[in-house]
């Protein structure tokens, strides 16, 4: 997976900070600033109830290969893209990637109230014989984790199994 700022702006309708390297490509999308060093990472900054990830932008942007999706216009600078919602923007980027880069990958989604991880693991075991399979790692089954997992599916993967947790009323529909 490799997505550049031009594509991110086209898909999200975001606004690039002055001096942004529009051709900069990212192969890691993360919400953890500790994962950015040494990677071509796009840091997705959220304002949470207790923490504001925008506070970590300076260390993230110190790398010549990183960039950031931001929600707070006061942090708009080179190699950042301002969007109304970082969560929604990450979902839009993943949907575009699914539609255009891994469109031939058979995707299986597993959700429900109990047994998701077990069902995912069993499904992966059943279909992985002789196939390239990608799947949700750990507990990355949220509205942020799932798009990150989609963006990690390499082009040419034959099948992907996604575990999808539910946290809001009506979300399963």
Specify which residues 114 forms β-bridges with.
none
As beta bridge partners, residue 110 has: 163
Query: How do the pLDDT tens digits run along the chain, 173 residues long?
Result: 678 999 999 999 999 999 999 999 999 999 999 999 889 999 999 988 899 999 999 999 998 899 999 999 999 999 999 999 999 999 999 999 999 999 999 999 999 888 889 999 999 999 998 899 999 988 888 888 899 999 999 989 999 999 998 877 777 66
**What DSSP state is assigned to residue 121?**
H
Q: CB neighbours of 66 closer than 8 A, spacing ≥ 6?
A: 26, 36, 39, 40, 41, 42, 43, 60, 79
The confidence score (pLDDT) of residue 64 equals 87
Q: How far are the Cα atoms of 2, 129, 165 from residue 159, in angstroms, in the given order?
A: 19, 11, 20
Residue 152 neighbours by CB under 8 Å, 6+ apart: 1, 134
């Amino acid at each position: 997976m490799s997505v550049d700022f031009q594509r991110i702006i086209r898909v999200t309708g975001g606004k690039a900070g002055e001096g942004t390297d529009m051709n900069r490509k990212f192969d890691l999308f993360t919400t953890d600033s500790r994962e950015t060093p040494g990677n071509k990472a796009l840091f997705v900054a959220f304002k949470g109830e207790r923490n504001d990830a925008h506070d970590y932008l300076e260390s993230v942007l110190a790398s010549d290969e990183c960039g950031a999706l931001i929600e707070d216009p006061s942090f708009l600078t080179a190699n950042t893209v301002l969007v109304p919602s970082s969560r929604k923007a990450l979902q839009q980027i993943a949907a575009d990637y699914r539609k255009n880069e891994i469109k031939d990958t058979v995707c299986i989604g597993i959700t429900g109230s109990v047994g998701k991880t077990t069902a995912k693991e069993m499904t992966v075991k059943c279909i992985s014989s002789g196939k390239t399979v990608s799947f949700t790692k750990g507990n990355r089954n949220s509205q942020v984790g799932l798009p990150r997992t989609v963006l990690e599916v390499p082009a040419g993967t034959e099948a992907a199994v996604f575990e999808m947790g539910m946290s809001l009323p009506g979300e399963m529909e």
